[in-house]
Each structure stands twice: as structure tokens, then as C-alpha cells.
Amino acid sequence: MMVRMIIVDDEHIILDSLKTLIDWNSIGVEVTGTADNGAAAIDLAIKQRPDIILSDISMPYFSGLEMLETLRRNSIATEVIFITAYGKFEYAQEAIHYGAFDYILKPINEELLLSTVSRCAGKIRTWQNRQTTEEQQHVNDLILTCLLRGKAPEKTEWDLIAIHGPDPEKFPYAVVVGFHPGNEEAPNPVSPDLRSVWVSNRLKAAGDLSLLMICFPDKSGTEWSGIIDKLIRGNTEAVTAISTVAAQKDCFERAYAQISFTLIDAQVNGKKGKVYFATTGKSAALSFPGFDSVYSSLSRGIREGGTELIPGLLFKFFAGFLEKEILYDSSLVELYCIELADFIYGENEEYMAHSEAGEKIPAIMVIKKRLTACPGLFHVFAALCEIFAGLSGNINKDQIHSSIRLVRQCIRIIQEHYGEAITLPVAAQQLYISPNYLSRIFSAEMGKSFSRYLLEYRITMAQKLLRESNDKVYEIAAQVGYDDVVHFSKIFKQVTGLSPNRYRNAKP
């Protein structure tokens, strides 16, 4: 790696000699420019950002010291080596104080000059190598973070990955392998010519699981399939999960879901599961009995104190996500899990939690915050197991059913806000429960949907206004929540059999 240097001296004979008569290539240094004064050197340094400036210290108009001070003030970290006459020795000492690398006295000794510049170049190479290593580690950490959150990198993240990883144009496809190496050093099964191992970091929350992201040039995966074969032959217990072949930028989501599911399988069954998603499809998917069945089983198990059944029931819940191909949408899975917890907890005053401010809030809000903060599906699964196990030991069977009270609270919201843009999600948010749960219990309790009840209540209030006030029809429509008077009139006639005006004229 060549180190770039510019030379500065106001005496053109010395400047030319330093540039042409010294064998800079012998120490890996390339002279990329020259300047005959400090001001010109600063302009050149800003444009080229050289690694080294070799400069005379005493120059008219703009000295070497002024040049160095200006460079540092503008955050230009170029190393500076000064050349100075013996009579200006005190200047050289001041230059060292300002951060110059070293100084050389005139007359110049060529061997000493080469030795000094070589030492400076060695320092620069060490720093650059350290920077490269740190950047590569940063990119590896970034890739691992993207895998664990299950989303493709943002543009700025992808720009970094594309620079430091395999060229996306040459290696457009990728697969992620999760494996248990059984020792501290993760194996590197990839041929050096591909240079395609991006990540071999440990996933600390998942025991000894390690991840490798492997990139290859063709969609058929001829390169990585041979790699996996070697891994399996070398250690039949090593490979845990293989994510589906995908475009390099899009492989994170499926890898996240499939490897997380394998970790859940391992926790439930107490083993390191071998699941080959890429070659045998969804071989880990179990028969899913449906969400309602899982809800009922979990609710019954929790009430009866069967904490040992909870992991297995939740495993079926997650297996259903895999079978229905929604396990790859981590946000959707989180919502379903929150709904499951909401269903199990209901809205019981006995299950309130204290916020940081000290006030009481529904426990489901605390659970929601905890689940959405989980870094991966494995952590969501573990958190649910812990939450439901804790509930099982403290639940009060007489207070688990609170649907009647919730529906009554919902009706009160409708009666107080029917003239506003009230909707099922808005009401559910005020009750701290999910819209699906509110819809289900409202229909069961009232024998009609939320929207139908709201519609009928609005028409009832409109009838009252038509009978008791002289407001115009469009004004009454607005008072009961309808912006469009034509739509209001149509709904009113569907419910009552009369138009608003005919209803008003028919009043006793």
C-alpha cells in the first residue's frame, strides 16, 4: 500500500531534487504533488488529503509552522516532517509541540531522510490497517444486527455493507447458516477465493449458536450447497438452520424467521434441532390447530396452573406462523403475540401495573412494551413463556372473564362520542385492548357488530333531534357524525323506512 506525500519548499532547486533524486518507491511512498509556499501547500493538502507533507519550516509569507497550525485547525490529520537549518532549531522544537512527526536538519542526509519518512509511513500503515479492521468489524456487527431484527438494511447501512462485503453485482445471492460448532472458534467452511463469510459472530442470547452469511454468484446456489454438505459431513450436529436463497439485500428477513424458529424448537425440545429449510422446505412446520384453539388451550392451561404445558402450546402457535408463511413478518408476529396476551389477560383491574411515574396502568400495556422491545422472535417466545407462567401462579379464576364490563365501557364511549369520528380501533385504544378482541366480545355480548350498534345509535339520536329541534337535516347529520348529508339520508331511510324530512313531518 503506497503512502501519498507532497513536498513543500520555496527553493525550486531543492524542491526538484527532493522530488526526483530520492528513491521514494523503495520505501513505498509516492510523491503526488509539490508546492513552493505554505499557502499553496494548504490548498493542495485540502484537495489531495496526502498522508505526509515534507516541508521546509522557514518560508516567506507563510511559514511551515503557520501551515501546520492551519492544517490542525481545519482537522486535517496529515503527518508533517519539517526540514530546517541548524540556526532555526528552535522552530523545529516548536513544530514538534504543534504535532509535527519529526524534523531533519540541513544539509540533508539522504539516508536519514529516507529512514525518517519510512518510519512515518509505517505509522500511517499501522493506523490504516487498524481503521480497516475496525470498519470491517463495524460492518460485521451491522450485518448481525440486521439479521437479528429481520429487516433489510437501510440505504446508509447497505452502502457500508456493499463496500466492505462481497460485491452485490458479482455475488448477488445469499444464504444464512446457523450452526453449533461445539468449540470457541467458529469454523470457516468457505473457500478463500469467494471471500464470502460476512458474519461468524456469536448470538449470545442463543447459547453457542453462530451465524454465517454466505454470498454466491448464481441463484441455484451451487457454491453454498457444497459448503453445507461439508459442514454436515464434518459434524452432523453442527447445522441448525439454513435460510432460503435470496437476493443479498433481501435475505435478512427469512433468515431471521427461520433461525429464530429453530432456536424456539431447541428450547422446547431441549436439543439442537437440525432443520434444513433450503433443501426440504418447511420441514419444521407442525400441524397448526388454529389461533382460537391455541387461545383456548393456553387459557385453560394457565387457569389450571399447567405451566409445563405453556412452552409446547406456544411452540404450536409459532409453528402456525411458519406454516402460514407469516413468520417472516416479525412486526405482524409481535402483534399476534400481543393480541394473544391481551386475550389471556383481558382487562382485569386486578392485573394492573405501576408505571415509572407511579400511576396504575393496564398490565397489557407493560406486556406490549416488553414484547416490542425484544430483539428477536426467540426473545418474544421466551418472554411470553415467562409472562404466562407468572400469570398462571397468580390468576384469580373469578376475575378472568371481564368481557361484559369491557362492552359496557365501549357502549359508554359510543354514547359520549357518537357525533365524532369514533371507530372500533379508537374505542379499543381507549380501553387498552386490541381491536380484534373488542370486536369479538362486543358481537358476542350484544348480538351485533360494533359498527352496526354505532350506526343504529346515531340514527336513534337523529330521530330525537328531528322530533325535538328545528335544526336543518344537514346540521343534524353533522351532529350525529355524518359529514355527507346524502349518505346520512340514505342510512336513515334504510333503518327507519322514511327519509329524514318525511320522518320529521310525520311526527305527532
Mean pLDDT of 41-57: 90
Burial of 117 (0-12, 13-18, 19+ CB in 10 A): buried
Q: Where are the beta strands (DSSP E) in 338-400?
A: 352-354, 360-362
Read off the DSSP letter of residue 275. Answer: B
Mean pLDDT of 305-323: 73
Instruction: Decide: 147 and 201 in contact? Cβ < 8 Å.
Output: no
Burial of 438 (0-12, 13-18, 19+ CB in 10 A): buried
Alpha carbons within 13 angstroms on the beta-carbon side of residue 8 total 29
Mean pLDDT of 198-209: 57
Mean pLDDT rounded to a whole number for the chain: 75
pLDDT of residue 145 exceeding 70? yes
Antiparallel, parallel or unpaired: β 210-216 and 173-179: antiparallel
The per-residue pLDDT for range 84-129, each reduced to its tens digit, is 876 666 776 777 777 888 888 888 899 999 999 999 999 888 887 7
- Out of 3.40.50.2300, 3.40.50.10470, 3.40.50.1820, 3.40.50.460, which CATH number does the structure's domain 3-128 have? 3.40.50.2300
Instruction: Give the confidence band of 348 by pLDDT, cuts at 50, 70, 90.
Output: very low
Least confident of 83-97, 232-246, 367-381, 479-493: 232-246
**pLDDT score at 251:** 79
**pLDDT score at 113:** 93
Least confident of 154-158, 299-303, 315-319, 387-391: 299-303
Mean pLDDT of 243-258: 74
Instruction: Give the confidence band of 257 by pLDDT, cuts at 50, 70, 90.
Output: low
Question: Which DSSP string do the residues of 478-505 spell out, in sequence order?
Answer: HHTT-S-HHHHHHHHHHHHSS-HHHHHH
| Region for 358 from its dihedrals, namely left if φ exceeds 0, alpha if ψ lies in -120 to 50, beta otherwise | left
Contacts of 239 (CB under 8 A, 6+ apart): 177, 178, 179, 228, 231, 232, 274, 276
Domain ranges of the chain: 3-128, 150-277, 291-399, 403-505
**pLDDT score at 209:** 67
Instruction: Decide: 378 and 315 in contact? Cβ < 8 Å.
Output: no
Q: Where are the beta strands (DSSP E) in 190-247?
A: 210-216, 239-242, 246-247
Q: How far apart are CA 131 and CA 124, in angstroms?
A: 10
pLDDT of residue 353 exceeding 60? no
Least confident of 96-105, 175-184, 301-310, 352-361: 352-361
Query: Is the bond preceding residue 192 a cis peptide, omega within 30 degrees?
Result: no
Q: What is the CATH number of domain 403-505?
A: 1.10.10.60
Least confident of 40-49, 131-140, 341-350: 341-350
The per-residue pLDDT for range 153-190, each reduced to its tens digit, is 888 888 777 777 667 777 788 887 776 655 444 444 44
The per-residue pLDDT for range 402-460, each reduced to its tens digit, is 567 788 889 999 999 999 888 898 888 888 777 877 887 788 778 888 989 999 999 99
Instruction: Give the confidence band of 350 by pLDDT, cuts at 50, 70, 90.
Output: very low
The per-residue pLDDT for range 263-298, each reduced to its tens digit, is 676 666 655 444 444 333 333 333 334 556 666 677
Instruction: Give the confidence band of 52 by pLDDT, cuts at 50, 70, 90.
Output: very high
Contacts of 396 (CB under 8 A, 6+ apart): 348, 350
Antiparallel, parallel or unpaired: β 52-56 and 3-8: parallel
**pLDDT score at 292:** 62
- pLDDT over 70 percentage in the chain: 66
**pLDDT score at 26:** 92
Mean pLDDT of 179-203: 52
Q: What is the pTM of this model?
A: 0.41
Q: How far apart are CA 497 and CA 493, in angstroms?
A: 5
Q: How far apart are CA 434 and CA 346, in angstroms?
A: 10
